[in-house]
Every structure is written in C-alpha cells, then in structure tokens.
Amino acid sequence: MARTADVDDLVARARKGEPRAVARLITLIENASPQLREVMAALNPLAGRARVIGLTGAPGVGKSTSTNALVRAFRRQDLRVGVLAVDPSSPFTGGALLGDRVRMQDHASDAGVFIRSMASRGHLGGLAWAAPQAIRVLDAAGCDVVLVETVGVGQAEVEIASLADSTIVLVSPGMGDSIQAAKAGILEIADVFVVNKADRDGAQQTVRDLRNMIALAAPEGWKPPIVPTVAVKDEGVADVVQKLDEHLAWMEDSGELNRRRRARARDEIEAIAVTALRERMGDLHGHQRLDVLAEKVLDGSCDPYAAADELVEGLTESG
Amino acid sequence: MARTADVDDLVARARKGEPRAVARLITLIENASPQLREVMAALNPLAGRARVIGLTGAPGVGKSTSTNALVRAFRRQDLRVGVLAVDPSSPFTGGALLGDRVRMQDHASDAGVFIRSMASRGHLGGLAWAAPQAIRVLDAAGCDVVLVETVGVGQAEVEIASLADSTIVLVSPGMGDSIQAAKAGILEIADVFVVNKADRDGAQQTVRDLRNMIALAAPEGWKPPIVPTVAVKDEGVADVVQKLDEHLAWMEDSGELNRRRRARARDEIEAIAVTALRERMGDLHGHQRLDVLAEKVLDGSCDPYAAADELVEGLTESG
C-alpha cells in the first residue's frame, strides 16, 4: 500500500508527463484502487484541456492502423497525444499489454505519445467508471489530444460516444450492409464517418450507403461527413483531421462541446456514486441481506421489486 | 394508463399463455412501465419452472438458424418454448419486430412457441434489468424452455451467461482465430460449444483449436463439450440438446443450478435497486444537483469522487 506521499509523488511525475507514472496511475484505475479518490482530487484541477476523440468500428476495419495514422498526423502539428485502447470484453491486461508493445514500435522513441490499453470488464462500473478517469490522467499529464479507441459493436460503441468530444466511426467496404450498420446504432454516434480501405472494391457503394442513411436520418445541426481513407498509406488522414477540427469548431460555436462535457461529468459522477452504492449493497450485513432476498425471490415469497425496496432501505439506514 | 384490474387481466391471460398478453407484458418491460412492480409481484410465484438456455456468438455464425433448429428439437419433445432475442445495441423495437415476423414464419401456426425480440439499449438498467423480467414473463406463461439469444461480442456475450442456466457459444469455421475467441472471454461463459456450419472447410481445425483452449484453461467441474452442427440441415442439433441435458443434470447434482439461479436473482434485485437509486439521483432537486456537481467537476472546484459523495448524501437525506 502506497502512502499519501507516494501518491503525491506519482501525481507530480505524471504531471510532468513521465510515462511510467502515467502507466502506474492507469493501473490504479484498472485495479479500482482506493487511492483513486486522492489521485483524482489532485489531478482534476489540472485536467480539462485535452480534446477527446473517440474511434470505434467493427473488428477488422483498421482501427489500430487508423489510430496510428491519426497519432502521426497530430504529432506533425506538434501536439502531445494520448491513446487509450479500451476493450470492454477483455479481462486480460496481459493481452492488452502485448498489443501495446506491438503498437508502441511505431512511436517508441517519441516522448510526445503515450499509448495504453485498458481492460474494463469485471469492473463494477465498467467503461463508464474507468474510462473518464483514465482520460483525466492523460489529460492532466499534458496530452493535447486523447484518442479513445474501442473494440466496436454494440454497447461499447455507444458508450465511447459519451466519453468523447468527437466520435469517429470507421467502416470499410464489404464489412456488412447498411442495415447491420443502422442496427448497431452507429448513425447516431458518428460525428465523422471514415470509410477505411477505400482503395478496395465496394468503397464507393459504402460511401453511397452511408450518405443515404444520413440523408434518411436527416440529423439536425451537425451532419456527419464521410471521409475515405487508406490509413495504411496515410491517405485521407489529413482530411479526417480537418473534419475533426471543423466538428470541434462547430461544437464550440453551438455550445455542444459544453453540453457534451457536462453530460460526461454527470455520467462519471453517477458511475462513481452507483459503484459506491453497489458496494454498500453488497456489504450489507456481510453480503447476507442480498442472499436472503435472492432466496425469497426464488421461492416465490417475495417479488424482485419488493426485494429491491428492502435492499435500498437497508442502504439508507446504514448510510 | 391501465388500472390494476387491467394488470390482473393481463397477468391472467399471460398465465394461460395467450401470446398477445405475453407480448404486451414484454412491451411494459421495454417501456420500463411503473406497472411492472405489480406485474412482477403477480408473476413471481408462478415462475421458476422454465429452463433458461443462453445462445450467443459473433454475427454471421448462424444464431437465428440454430435457435430455430433448437426450437424444433424441443417442440419434438412437446415442450413449450419461449425465445427472447436480445439486442443490447438496438434502440429500435421496430427493427426487432421485423426480425420477429421473419422468424415467426417457421413457427407461426405453433401455439407452443413464443418468439419475441427485445431492445434493451437506452434502458437505465440495460440487459441486467430488462432480461430477467422478460424471462419471468415467458416462464410464468408456461414455457418449459426459454432460449435467450443475443447479438454477441463483448459485454452482451458475458451478460447472457449470467441470465441463463446453460450457455451455448456458437462459433463457425473461419470466423476468426482462437486468440480472438479467447479475448472475447467466451471460454469462461460457454457450457456447450457449438461449431456451426461444420460442413465447411476449417471446421475440424476450429474444433481442435477450441479443444486446445479448453485443455489449456483446464476448467474444474464441467468441461464444455464441443458439438459440430449444420443447423440449416438440422444436423447435430439432437446432440446439442443431449449435451444441454447432461449439463442440466450435472448442475442439479453439483448444486450449480441453485448457485446460478441465486446469483441471477441477486443480480436482478441489484439491477432494480440501482435503477431506482439512479432515478432518485436524477430526480434530486429536479435534476439540478447533478448538473451543479458536473459544473464543479468541469471547473476544477470539485473532484468526481467528492461530487459522488455529495450525490449519495443527497440520496440518503431524501430516502
């Protein structure tokens, strides 16, 4: 157990952008360390400068390649970049670390880039609890841009949008028809669509499909642009950065940036509160109260709503 | 707004297995109706008989076809079957309904089969809140077997395991290598592996890969069997049913069935309690408290943990 002095030291070193201190702080988040309270109190006043960009898409669409290409593009503008790769399905930090090492090769000698994977599965609060805290660490460590990349499909995809200022949804030709895409709810979360592997057959059709879907949805305010890229050759990446800049400018003008950041802060506070309450529920009478209530629901003597009432009551008594 | 008398009538009709009443009750769940409290109180004593089987796997692996084949197999045993297709990424009940209609064609004239899709995205409590209640409806309506099918990958896949007595994980040849599979955490949740499309190239390799992964994981107790199927031709489906029966027998003998059902009841109670607490947090002082706290976190005057403390405190005061 580290003492407060250690936390102070860690925070001070992270502020200077020292990679090992940053890594250590993110590990504290992965482990849901009790020291986080202290860490976040120290970091919060330093954060709020970074621009957070989410990047999602189905497996195989070229997320890592696109992230790397974006990192290079931002580095050319001399911006410090943090990359947080979140895999909500993975309980294995080991696997994530392997991925880091492979990726790091591109930027290994670059002190202006910090790349870290984070497993959030198994966390009580999941992505909603862990990711904003990791973003804050990278933000406070001086990153100008934080790229949050997630293994797409379903909930993770939707959650990433609530973490980011701007969300890029990557698709590639032949990765499934537009109905699949519409079902996954990507239309609503995309601020910028990127059609990667645009040198492949069917790219034009994919762009047309997306354009039709956007037209059908008739979004008010920002209309998500569609940018073709070949990330592996760095083609089109500058266009993506430009569209991101335009989106940022629009958000600042329209007040959307503040709205999103407030929503993000609300979500984070709520996630921390819910996690705390959930722990308290589990702790009630040494876990026994919930067990007893579960038995009653199973034998039919109590319905789940009445059981939940009892649980909440116990919480308020002990609160 | 329906009155209590209507709820009583609805519950009575659902008990008789009337499809429209069952559908109506599941819609109440999708809409998070306040009447659910009453509905669940009436249904809970009638539930607990159905066997719940989860079915998950990546898109394209043949989930719907396999579900239909299993329905036919259970129907041959003269069992009443409920199918709940959960898509945690889909906010569109309309889309889900379209899917229902397409699927229903196979079993349209069969009063012993009830098929329903449910969207859980956007729900405060998500799958953990909605699915157990929908399962209870089907259970109380007299279904002997409830098949819960989910769009796989990631969180949804893991969550389904906590809803079911037995979980089938579907894979198919060439759907990605074993590392992908291991990453997605499917090893831990599968009670039965089904290699569908087993007449395709690479099926044997897929079976070998799975066998090696299971050997490496060296599970204690139940060792998940691997069953090759060609669901579209009904091949191997009887074997799947047999393995499910063996798993059920093992669970009954080992006490695992009770353990899983208790855990499920605990999760459900907790999800209802958390949803109630979350609503209360949102309601505090007409949503203003959370907004004010979010502002403070954004301007750096309060850290998120302290903000969460204030939120929880407000809850206990008002509780």
Candidate from A276, A281, A307 with C-beta closest to B312: A276
The owner of tokens 């899917």 is: B99
Instruction: Among B106-120, B133-147, B305-319, name the one with the lowest average pLDDT.
Output: B106-120
The reply to whether A158 touches chain B by the CB within 8 Å rule is yes
Model confidence band, residue B218 (pLDDT cutoffs 50, 70, 90)? confident
Instruction: Among A33-37, A220-224, B119-123, B270-274, name the one with the lowest average pLDDT.
Output: B119-123
Average pLDDT in chain B: 83
Interface TM-score (ipTM) > 0.90: no
Interface test with A, best of B90, B120, B151, B155 (most A CBs within 10 A): B155
Chain A, residues 67-106, CB within 8 A of chain B, namely 87-92, 95
pLDDT value of residue B188: 79
Q: How far apart are CA B242 and CA B178, in angstroms?
A: 26
Percent of chain B with pLDDT over 90: 44
Q: How far apart are CA A217 and CA B171, in angstroms?
A: 34
At B21-70, the pLDDT tens digits run 999 998 898 888 889 999 999 999 899 899 999 998 877 788 889 999 99
| HEC profile of B187-213 | HHHCCEEEECCCCCCCHHHHHHHHHHH
Domain ends where: B230, B254, B278? B254
A64 and A187 both lie in a single domain: yes
Candidate from A44, A158, A307 with C-beta closest to B300: A44
pLDDT value of residue B7: 87
Q: Which residues of B touch A290 (CB under 8 A)?
A: 266, 269-270
Candidate from A154, A278, A293 with C-beta closest to B274: A278
CATH number at residue B62: 3.40.50.300
At B147-186, the pLDDT tens digits run 998 865 556 666 777 889 999 999 888 755 544 555 556 6
The reply to whether A111 touches chain B by the CB within 8 Å rule is no
B66 and B202 both lie in a single domain: yes
Q: Which tokens sit at A85?
A: 């790769």
Task: Judge whether B36 lies within some domain.
Answer: no
Domain ends where: A202, A222, A253? A253
B276 and B196 both lie in a single domain: no
Measure in Å the smallest separation between the Cα of A85 and chain B Cα atoms: 14
Task: Judge whether A100 lies within some domain.
Answer: yes
Task: Judge whether B80 lies within some domain.
Answer: yes
Q: Which tokens sit at A221?
A: 């305010």
pLDDT value of residue B95: 35
Q: How far apart are CA B290 and CA B274, in angstroms?
A: 16
Measure in Å the smallest separation between the Cα of B238 and chain A Cα atoms: 31
A59 and A158 both lie in a single domain: yes
Q: Which residues of B touch A281 (CB under 8 A)?
A: 270, 273
pLDDT value of residue B105: 56
* Whether A262 and B294 lie within 8 Å, measured CB to CB: yes
With contact defined as beta carbons under 8 Å apart, do A88 and A155 qualify?
yes
Q: How many CB atoms lie within 10 A of CB B299?
A: 12
Upper half-sphere CA count for residue A196 (Cβ side, 13 Å): 26
Candidate from A121, A269, A302 with C-beta closest to B307: A269
Q: Which residues of A touch B158 (CB under 8 A)?
A: 89, 121
**A92 alpha carbon, distance to own chain's centre:** 17
Q: How many domains does chain A have?
A: 2
Interface test with B, best of A269, A274, A281, A284 (most B CBs within 10 A): A269
In 3D space, the residue among B22, B2, B3 whose CA is nearest the CA of residue B12 turns out to be: B22
Phi first, then psi: what are they for B298, rounded to 5°? -65, -40
Measure in Å the smallest separation between the Cα of B208 and chain A Cα atoms: 22
Measure in Å the smallest separation between the Cα of A256 and chain B Cα atoms: 15
Model confidence band, residue B97 (pLDDT cutoffs 50, 70, 90)? very low
In 3D space, the residue among A8, A238, A18 whose CA is nearest the CA of residue A114 turns out to be: A18
The reply to whether A266 touches chain B by the CB within 8 Å rule is yes
Q: Which residues of B touch A126 (CB under 8 A)?
A: 155
pLDDT value of residue A99: 45
Q: Which residues of B touch A274 (CB under 8 A)?
A: 274, 277-278
A137 and A226 both lie in a single domain: yes
A249 and A275 both lie in a single domain: no
SS3 A117: strand
Domain ends where: A220, A253, A286? A253
A287 and A249 both lie in a single domain: no
Residue B76, C-beta contacts closer than 8 angstroms, at least 6 positions apart: none
Task: Judge whether B259 lies within some domain.
Answer: no
Mean per-residue pLDDT, B259-263: 92
The reply to whether A36 touches chain B by the CB within 8 Å rule is yes
B86 and B185 both lie in a single domain: yes
Q: Which residues of B touch A217 (CB under 8 A)?
A: none
B118 and B76 both lie in a single domain: yes
pLDDT value of residue A105: 56
Report the residue of chain A nearest B188, measured CA to CA: A91
pLDDT tens for chain A, 319 residues long, are 445 668 889 999 998 888 889 989 988 988 888 899 999 999 998 898 999 999 988 777 888 899 999 999 999 999 999 999 886 554 433 334 334 444 555 666 677 888 888 765 555 556 778 889 999 999 999 999 999 988 655 556 667 778 899 999 998 887 555 445 555 566 778 999 999 999 999 999 989 988 988 888 777 889 999 999 999 999 999 999 999 999 999 999 999 999 999 999 998 998 898 888 888 887 765 568 888 999 999 998 999 999 999 988 887 665 4
Task: Judge whether A298 lies within some domain.
Answer: yes
Task: Judge whether A83 lies within some domain.
Answer: yes
> What is the CA angle A8-A10-A15, rounded to 5?
95
Query: Residue B106 above 80 pLDDT?
Result: no
A72 and A200 both lie in a single domain: yes
Interface test with A, best of B303, B312, B315, B316 (most A CBs within 10 A): B303
At A95-134, the pLDDT tens digits run 343 344 445 556 666 778 888 887 655 555 567 788 899 9
Q: Which tokens sit at B237?
A: 């489906």
Candidate from B89, B295, B308 with C-beta closest to A184: B89
SS3 A90: coil
Task: Judge whether B187 lies within some domain.
Answer: yes
Candidate from B87, B154, B305 with C-beta closest to A88: B154
Q: Which residues of B touch A154 (CB under 8 A)?
A: 88-89, 151, 153-156
pLDDT value of residue B277: 86
Q: Which tokens sit at A250?
A: 């629009």
B220 and B292 both lie in a single domain: no
The reply to whether A257 touches chain B by the CB within 8 Å rule is no
Q: At what angle do helices A63-76 and A93-107 cross, to 10 degrees?
A: 40
A108 and A216 both lie in a single domain: yes
Mean per-residue pLDDT, B13-24: 90
Report the residue of chain A nearest B263, measured CA to CA: A294
* Whether A273 and B308 lie within 8 Å, measured CB to CB: yes
pLDDT value of residue B237: 98
| HEC profile of chain B | CCCHHHHHHHHHHHHCCCHHHHHHHHHHHHCCCCCHHHHHHHHHHHCCCCEEEEEEECCCCCHHHHHHHHHHHHHHCCCCEEEEEEECCCCCHHHHHHHHHHHHHHHCCCCCEEEEEEECCCCCCHHHHHHHHHHHHHHHCCCCEEEEEECCCCHHHHHHHHHCCEEEEEECCCCCCHHHHHHCCHHHHCCEEEECCCCCCCHHHHHHHHHHHHHHHCCCCCCCCEEECEHHHCECHHHHHHHHHHHHHHHHHHCHHHHHHHHHHHHHHHHHHHHHHHHHHHHCCCCHHHHHHHHHHHCCCCCHHHHHHHHHHHHHHHC
Q: Mean pLDDT highest for which of A97-106, A111-120, B86-95, B219-228?
A: B219-228
Chain A, residues 188-247, CB within 8 A of chain B, namely none
The reply to whether A318 touches chain B by the CB within 8 Å rule is no
Q: Which tokens sit at A33?
A: 């360390």
* Whether A306 and B185 lie within 8 Å, measured CB to CB: no
pLDDT value of residue B312: 86
> DSSP assignment, residue A235?
B
State the residue range of the domain holding A289.
268-318
Model confidence band, residue B101 (pLDDT cutoffs 50, 70, 90)? very low
Task: Judge whether B37 lies within some domain.
Answer: no
**A283 alpha carbon, distance to own chain's centre:** 29
Residue B104 burial by CB count (10 A; 0-12/13-18/19+): exposed, middle or buried? middle
The reply to whether A57 touches chain B by the CB within 8 Å rule is no
